[in-house]
Amino acid sequence: MLYKLAPSILSANFSRLEEEVKKVERKADYLHIDVMDGHFVPNLTIGPPVVKALRKVTDLFFDVHLMVTNPEGLINAFADAGADLICVHAESTFHLHRLIQSIKELGKKVGVALNPASPPELVLPILDEIDLVLLMSVNPGFGGQKFIQSTIAKITRLRAIIAERGLEVELEVDGGIGPQTLPGVIKAGANVFVAGSAIFGQPSPGDAITEMKNIIKREGV
Ligand code: DX5
Ligand code: ZN
């Protein structure tokens, strides 16, 4: 399987974002950018101007995770700012199918995210329309939370369905991922791993990535 690491800049030093990105640029596969609006989740983070500024300093693939209400009103701005993949929460829209088509029309890859309490069935009708499913393994809003164990069963189930249907959908897991939890999510079938505090919260983010990549080499299939 092709495995990918996606450092989340939520745990980076926001006063030195360019420097922080440079620390992971050569080793990361995606740069995970957490967008929070203070409504869908109880926190506020990054908007299109910051994504646009980062776009000028790196060629890393931007995996933009929208944790917002009314994502329909924001996808244009994030596409223009330089997102490569736009991931929307299934819980944040009444018209998921339409929203997916709109993101595709902007020429971007599409992800659909599920909160810990949402069943995997929510994405089954649109699974062959999208590039990635993002399973939240913490309640979205903050970095540094504890991994929720029931995510493992959801990963296992979705990986089986993806394989059965012969799809190439990526299965990304986000929240509480680090050297301790990585083996379990690899075994369950995730192939993209978001990590904030386990990478940017460490003295050397580059070394933290190397350690996680070694675990992937050892545990992956
Ligand atoms: C949480 C965000 C995550 C966050 C993960 O709402 O979606 O991407 O950065 O942080 P860690 O890896 O510290 O749990
Ligand atoms: Zn995220």
Nearest CA to ligand 1 atom 1: 140
Decide: 3 and 221 in contact? Cβ < 8 Å: no
3-51 per-position pLDDT tens digit: 999 999 999 999 999 999 999 999 999 999 999 999 999 999 999 999 9
Q: How big is the CA angle at 154 (ends 110 and 72), to the nearest 5 degrees?
A: 30
Answer yes or no: is the C-beta of 151 below 6 A from any ligand 1 atom.
no
Cβ(198) – ligand 1 distance below 6 Å: yes
Q: How far apart are CA 99 and CA 218, in angstroms?
A: 38
Residue labelled with tokens 């776009």: 55
pTM for this prediction: 0.98
Q: How far is the centre of ligand 2, averaged over its atoms, from the C-alpha of 215 (Å)?
A: 21
Tens digit of pLDDT for each residue in 44-96?
A: 999 999 999 999 999 999 999 999 999 999 999 999 999 999 999 999 999 99
| Spatial separation of the C-alpha atoms in residues 18 and 40, rounded to whole Å | 27
User: Any residues with CB less than 8 A from the CB of 26 and at least 6 apart, and which?
Assistant: 206
- Please, what is the angle between helix 48-55 and helix 17-24, to 10°? 60
DSSP type of residue 29: S
Phi, psi of 147 (to 5 degrees): -55, 130
